[in-house]
Amino acid sequence: MARVLPLLCCLVWMGIGCADRQARNPLDPQVEDPAVEIGPLEAVAGDGEVVLRWDYSAFEDVSGYRLYRRSGDGDLELYRELAAGTRAYTDLRVENGATYAYQLALLVRGEGERRLEPVRQATPGPQAGWAADLGSGLVWRISPDNRAAFFGQGRFPGLVGVGVDQRDGSCWVSDRYFKGLVRISASGELSEHPAALGEAGPLSIDPDQQVGWLVDSARQTVSWFALAPLADSLALEVVDARFEGLAVLEARAGSCWIGAADRVLRYWREDRRRQEWAVEKPKALAPIPEGGAWALVRGGQGLVYLEPEGGIREFTLPFAVAQALEADPQSGACWVAGMEAVVSLAADGTSLAQWEGLAGGRALALDGVHRQLWVAAPELLIKVSAEGQVLARLGGFASLGGIEVDPGTSR
């Protein structure tokens, strides 16, 4: 089932040609532009580092490299001189949250220096995204600035969903063709954990409680399991409730919100307590710390707030059908994605903002620590500031179906 892909910048590493012409002087006018044929410099941001990679080993006349860097405003300045056999460099002299620009120059015997385009930017930080590409069956770990991907892991032919354990940065994956779950570590190692279930469905991770919640789509049940100590197989504890039309679940602070055909149920694991709200066809749930939750109902045609005391407040959507929902744990506000825009509503339903240019958003993930929203469209992952400014776009996906963000502050 597993295959780890190499480090990517735009998800696709351009192949190295094998023609004899490609082994000659890269400044020869009859040689295809090496920055196009071979692929440009990669700059992948991490936590306190930027990993730079390239490969011009096919050219016999390259005698070395010069790496130029810029931090903030100003011109690119010579940062490092590197030997001819170098293919990677990790820049550790960086600060999280600062943006750096890099340019690579080839030193060619008898020809001098040639700077290559494009200039690459990277913004290191502790956070990381995990994106589920349903089209390719790959799960991608995304750099903190959403400009690159560390790796793609899979393939998962029946990929359903992902959940992130913020305590160790790992990602759990459910695949309907595997009776259990798969765990991907923060560095990309994959391990399979079988479980006694009919068909794996949606899952959600509660990192504070170190508990995962999982839907068995075949049996229409919900179970929880302990994340630690990590065992080869998962011991599932079934929730003592029956469901029809299980569609969604979200775990928060020792309880799990479960959406079925005609209701939303909140279930507390410790004392098996439950609370129910009668709603039609819940599509997405977004709990907040005060004990309530936002919910998309009627298949995305309605938006309601489920009050902790059991009441239901309904709000008007600015578009016909909503695709995804997320909530701010600090303010209680919510974000709703439609086919043409993303809107933000305050806890009382007041419209806070409407952001155009985010068409096709089918999944949302909020990084409440760094005040950033990640929007997954079918072929595009977009990172947006709390004010609605698009910070970065990453393309090349087949069909994104989910995004989870790890702020990186729990470790």
- What is the DSSP secondary-structure string of 38-67? T---EEEE-SS-EEEE---TT-TTEEEEEE
The whole-number pLDDT of residue 9 equals 39
Say if residue 136 is in the same domain as residue 118.
no
Rounded to whole angstroms, the Cα distance separating 124 from 144 reads: 6
Backbone angles phi and psi of 37, in degrees to 5? -70, -40
The whole-number pLDDT of residue 387 equals 85
What's the number of domains the chain is made of?
2
CA angle 193, 225, 374 (to 5 degrees): 85
Instruction: Determine contact, residues 392/99, Cβ cutoff 8 Å.
Output: no
Domain boundary among 71, 97, 122: 122
Span 312-369, pLDDT tens digits? 999 999 889 999 999 998 889 999 999 888 999 998 889 998 888 787 899 999 998 9
Which stretches of 25-179 are assigned E, i.e. beta strand?
42-45, 50-53, 62-71, 77-83, 88-91, 100-108, 112-115, 120-122, 128-133, 138-142, 149-154, 159-165, 170-175
Structural domain contains residue 257: yes
Domain boundary among 71, 105, 122: 122
Closest-CA residue to 189 (of 230, 245, 240): 230
> Could you tell me which residue, 139 or 73, shows the higher pLDDT?
139
Structural domain contains residue 1: no
Instruction: Determine contact, residues 212/227, Cβ cutoff 8 Å.
Output: yes
Domain at 188, CATH number:
2.130.10.10
182: exposed, middle or buried (Cβ count in 10 Å: 0-12, 13-18, 19+): buried
Domain boundary among 94, 122, 150: 122
Span 238-276, pLDDT tens digits? 998 889 999 999 999 889 999 999 999 999 999 999 999
pLDDT at residue 16 is higher than 50 = no
Please, which pLDDT band fits residue 411 given cuts at 50, 70 and 90?
A: low
Containing structural domain, residue 83: 8-122
Domain at 16, CATH number:
2.60.40.10
Structural domain contains residue 2: no
pLDDT at residue 168 is higher than 60 = yes
What does the chain come to in residues?
411
Please, which pLDDT band fits residue 39 given cuts at 50, 70 and 90?
A: low
Say if residue 194 is in the same domain as residue 115.
no
Structural domain contains residue 169: yes
The whole-number pLDDT of residue 114 equals 94
Say if residue 280 is in the same domain as residue 397.
yes
How many CB atoms neighbour CB 314 within 10 A? 12
Rounded to whole angstroms, the Cα distance separating 186 from 160 reads: 20
pLDDT at residue 57 is higher than 90 = no
Rounded to whole angstroms, the Cα distance separating 244 from 217 reads: 10
Span 88-139, pLDDT tens digits? 999 999 999 999 999 999 999 999 999 999 999 999 999 999 999 999 999 9
Instruction: Determine contact, residues 290/303, Cβ cutoff 8 Å.
Output: no
Say if residue 212 is in the same domain as residue 330.
yes
Three-class SS of residue 21?
helix
Rounded to whole angstroms, the Cα distance separating 120 from 40 reads: 9
Closest-CA residue to 324 (of 355, 300, 288): 300
Structural domain contains residue 411: no
Identify the bridge partners of residue 43 per DSSP, sorted by sequence position.
52
Structural domain contains residue 3: no
- DSSP conformation class of 98: -
Instruction: Determine contact, residues 80/89, Cβ cutoff 8 Å.
Output: yes
Say if residue 233 is in the same domain as residue 112.
no
The whole-number pLDDT of residue 221 equals 96
Say if residue 118 is in the same domain as residue 133.
no
> Could you tell me which residue, 88 or 10, shows the higher pLDDT?
88
Structural domain contains residue 162: yes
